[in-house]
């Protein structure tokens, strides 16, 4: 099986992903079946670049997958109990629907297949995503199109310096007719909350999202109010402009399951963007662009149950821990990946393995999701930042030096 292809985070400084050679693949990974790529995927392989998640799934192999090796006397982790979990037919249908999302989103957003895959992985893990890119790379359009293709409600909240916590969560409003206070819901009461330019609002308002993201509820006047299911915060920020911004604290960055980067498109994709607009494409009218729901909340529920049954060998668990611990001792790192970051990588690894059509995770799945899951959980030393070191550079070194299980 060929290794997953990685999209570019930027045209400058892109290097091959470490450990993608055949010596890093396990026997299970070579024999594993996978879901066929969607019809819109390019047949030829794309460049190996260190960005978020692969932009296409591994090619299908029709041989049956061997069960993961287990230590003597050990039970297979993640196996569903009798009578629990989604039937295989339902899980396969949900997988096919979610894989088709890339093709549907591509009708409106060109060249961001890797970002779509990252958002789908976050939704499968009940997590939140931070989207980073310069203005004009279709971050907002991507979220709106994904919501339309998933038949989910979405609301956009523009974060500004004068935004108050009650503008996010909702607040109590006095009703003259009833002479009582009633709760008026804020924009967080939706399925996909687009928190646009989240770093432009003060920490007090940013903190209003902490309970929302962790507990999926809003507490006002001592009464918790649960949010709709599914729910996810998809926040955007500009990596270039820092004037008038409030960087997210580490505690809030850690609430985001993945950090997805949207690079500037290559020349052929940018030509296609202009061709869409020349033919009358209107970003505000997704229906006219042909975007249709191809999956829904029921598919997400079935998929989440199936992801929870993906088996992970103890050696793969140890590999994830070794990667996290290696970031803590890297010379350029001030604060490495915490145990929460390691559990986040485990979750995204299982989701990617399931999307690839396997019931068990491999080291290649860990490598494919390591950058998107861990890059925002690493705090660099000031002198390293002055030298141009980035979190992705640290992760490349860690992936190259920590031995993967065979």
In this structure, is residue 279 part of a structural domain? yes
Domain end marker among 246, 268, 293: 293
Report the half-sphere exposure of 229 (CA within 13 A, side-chain side): 9
Do 264 and 315 lie in a common domain? no
Query: Within this chain, do residues 269 and 391 fall inside the same structural domain, yes or no?
Result: no
Instruction: Identify which of 74, 57, 6 has the alpha carbon closest to the alpha carbon of residue 317.
Output: 74
Q: What is the CATH number of the domain that holds 194?
A: 3.40.50.300
The domain boundary residue, chosen from 237, 268, 293: 293
177 in a domain, yes or no?
A: no
- The answer to whether residue 78 sits within a structural domain is no
Q: Kindly state whether residues 153 and 214 are assigned to the same domain.
A: yes
Q: How far apart are CA 307 and CA 304, in angstroms?
A: 5
216 and 138 fall within a common domain: yes
Whether residues 264 and 339 share a domain: the answer is no
- Tell me the C-alpha to C-alpha distance, in Å, between residue 322 and each of 15, 329, 390, 391: 23, 11, 20, 17
User: What is the residue range of 48's domain?
Assistant: 1-65+310-406
Q: Is residue 146 part of a domain?
A: yes
CATH number at 52 reads 1.10.8.80
Residues 234 and 113 in one domain: yes
Same domain, 288 and 316: no
Tell me, yes or no, whether 244 lies in a domain.
Answer: yes
Each residue's pLDDT tens digit, 322-367: 999 999 999 999 999 999 999 999 999 999 999 999 999 999 999 9
Question: Beta strand pairing status for 379-380 and 333-335?
Answer: antiparallel
Q: What is the DSSP letter of 18?
A: T
- Asked whether residue 151 falls in the same domain as residue 235, the answer is yes
Residue 250 lies in a domain: yes
Q: Which of 131, 118, 125 is nearest to 198 (CA)?
A: 131
- The pTM (predicted TM-score) of the whole model is 0.77
Same domain flag for 261 and 395? no
Q: Say whether 131 sits in a helix, a strand or coil.
A: strand
| Last residue within a domain, chosen from 233, 268, 293 | 293
Q: Are residues 44 and 135 in the same domain?
A: no
Q: Could you read off the pLDDT tens digit of each residue along the chain, which spans 406 residues?
A: 333 333 333 333 333 333 344 444 343 333 433 434 443 433 333 223 334 466 555 543 333 344 444 444 444 443 333 334 556 678 999 999 999 988 899 899 988 888 999 999 999 999 999 999 988 899 999 999 999 999 999 999 999 999 999 999 998 888 888 888 888 888 999 999 999 999 898 888 888 888 899 899 998 878 889 999 999 999 999 888 777 788 888 888 989 999 999 989 899 999 999 999 999 999 888 988 889 999 999 999 999 999 999 999 999 999 999 999 999 999 999 999 999 999 999 999 999 999 999 999 999 999 999 999 999 999 999 999 899 899 999 999 999 999 999 8
**Looking at the structure, do residues 135 and 279 belong to the same domain, yes or no?**
yes
Same domain, 279 and 345: no
Yes or no: say if 196 and 159 are a contact pair by the CB < 8 Å rule: yes
Over residues 51-80, the pLDDT tens digits come to: 446 655 554 333 334 444 444 444 444 333
Q: Does the residue 246 lie in any domain?
A: yes
**Is residue 73 in a domain?**
no
Maximal C-alpha separation, the chain = 73
Output Rg (C-alpha) for the chain, integer angstroms: 21
């Amino acid at each position: 099986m060929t290794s997953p292809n990685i999209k570019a985070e930027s045209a400058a400084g892109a290097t091959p992903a470490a450990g993608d050679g055949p010596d890093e693949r396990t026997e299970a990974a070579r024999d594993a079946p996978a879901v066929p790529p969607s019809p819109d995927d390019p047949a030829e392989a794309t460049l190996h670049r260190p960005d978020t998640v692969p932009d296409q799934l591994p090619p299908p192999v029709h041989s049956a997958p061997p069960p993961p090796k287990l230590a003597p006397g050990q039970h297979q982790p993640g196996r569903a109990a009798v009578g629990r979990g989604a039937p295989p037919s339902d899980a396969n249908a949900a997988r096919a629907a979610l894989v088709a999302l890339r093709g549907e989103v591509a009708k409106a957003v060109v060249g961001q297949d890797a970002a779509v895959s990252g958002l789908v992985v976050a939704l499968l893990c009940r997590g939140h995503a931070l989207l980073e890119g310069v203005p004009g790379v279709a971050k907002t359009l991507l979220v709106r199109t994904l919501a339309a293709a998933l038949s989910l409600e979405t609301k956009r909240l523009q974060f500004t310096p004068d935004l108050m916590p009650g503008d996010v969560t909702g607040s109590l409003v006095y009703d003259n007719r009833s002479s009582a206070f009633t709760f008026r819901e804020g924009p967080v009461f939706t399925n996909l909350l687009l928190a646009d330019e989240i770093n432009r609002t003060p920490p007090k308002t940013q903190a209003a999202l902490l309970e929302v993201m962790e507990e999926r509820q809003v507490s006002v006047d001592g009464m918790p109010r649960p949010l709709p299911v599914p729910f996810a915060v998809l926040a955007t920020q500009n990596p270039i402009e820092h004037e008038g911004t409030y960087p997210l604290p580490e505690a809030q960055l850690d609430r985001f399951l993945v950090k997805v980067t949207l690079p500037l498109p290559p020349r052929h994709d940018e030509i296609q963007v202009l061709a869409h607009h020349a033919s009358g494409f209107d970003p505000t009218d997704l229906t006219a662009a042909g975007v249709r729901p191809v999956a829904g909340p029921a598919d997400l529920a079935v998929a989440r149950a199936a992801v929870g049954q993906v088996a992970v060998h103890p050696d793969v668990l140890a590999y994830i821990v070794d990667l996290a611990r290696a970031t803590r001792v890297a010379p350029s790192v001030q604060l490495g990946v915490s145990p929460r970051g390691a559990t986040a990588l485990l979750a995204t690894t299982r989701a990617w393995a399931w999307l690839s059509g396997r019931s068990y995770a491999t080291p290649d799945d860990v490598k494919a999701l390591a950058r998107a899951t861990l890059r925002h959980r690493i705090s660099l030393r000031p002198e390293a930042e002055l030298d141009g070191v980035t979190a992705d550079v640290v992760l490349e070194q860690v992936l190259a030096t920590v031995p993967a299980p065979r």
